[in-house]
Amino acid sequence: MQKKPFFVLHFSEFLLAFLLIVSTVMMSFSSGGFILNFRQIGFNIFSTVQNGINTVTSSITNSVNAVKELAELRKQYEVLSEKMKDYEYMQRSNSEIRKENARLKEQLDFSQSLAVKNFAANIISRGADNLYTTIVINKGSRNGIKKNMPVIAIQGGNIGIVGKVIAVGYTTAQIMPVFDFNSSISARVQNTRDIGLVSGNGSDTLPLKMEYIKKRVIDELRFGDVIVTSGENENYPADIPIGTISHVQVLNYDTSLAIELSPIIDFSRLETVLVIDHKSPNDKKAEEGEGND
């Protein structure tokens, strides 16, 4: 037996329902309700899109500006760094110039104060050949330099013996320093006036040695006592400091003391010297004396 459908939609009924839906929609449009909703929806969508675009645009603009500012800051930093380097270089240069001026003024004042003729010179090289060590200066025979002239220097306010001229060229000269093995200077203990002989040990890093000081004066010697040139044999002017006592040793087999000296001059820092013609008067000093009269 065939069953009948529980619900059958006839055409007339379908048509009626469709007309009712169309009528409802038309009434809604005619009242303006749908138009208002569409406008609001469109406005919200447009606003959202616009805000998004503005946000993205602002982010891109800010990023570009930040990159530009960073590049500009980097350029400014590099410029300032270069200026700082230039400033530091100028400061160092000014400091070196001031020091050099101070050294030159010190040497000039000392040179003019000497009673004997002297020649200022710069050290241009140093050399060592086995037991023979030399210092070369930029003055020679054309400047009045002669063999065996003594050489002194002023360093940090201290006057000291450097050595003597052993060879002379036209524009240069060689100096044998006091620390050379072949150097031998007649000297005195400044306080006691005892006389001895000062010689070198072959290097500016080693102490000088003084011999022929009798053991009997050991109680009168003090560490730091100054040893000066004696002025005998006319090789060096008298009373020019050579070094200071740094060590005294009593030798059982010798009647003399073994004395070590620290040189007055620091040869590792020596740059300029004065070559002395101690047999000729200082013309500048004589002119000053006449002016004072």
pLDDT of residue 128: 63
pTM score, whole prediction: 0.63
265 contact partners, CB below 8 Å, separation of at least 6: 153, 155, 158, 160, 161, 162
pLDDT of residue 132: 55
pLDDT of residue 107: 66
Q: What is the mean pLDDT of each run of 10 residues along the chain (293 residues)?
A: 51 62 59 50 57 65 72 78 70 64 65 81 80 84 95 90 95 95 94 95 93 93 95 86 95 90 94 88 60 53
pLDDT of residue 37: 52
pLDDT of residue 39: 55
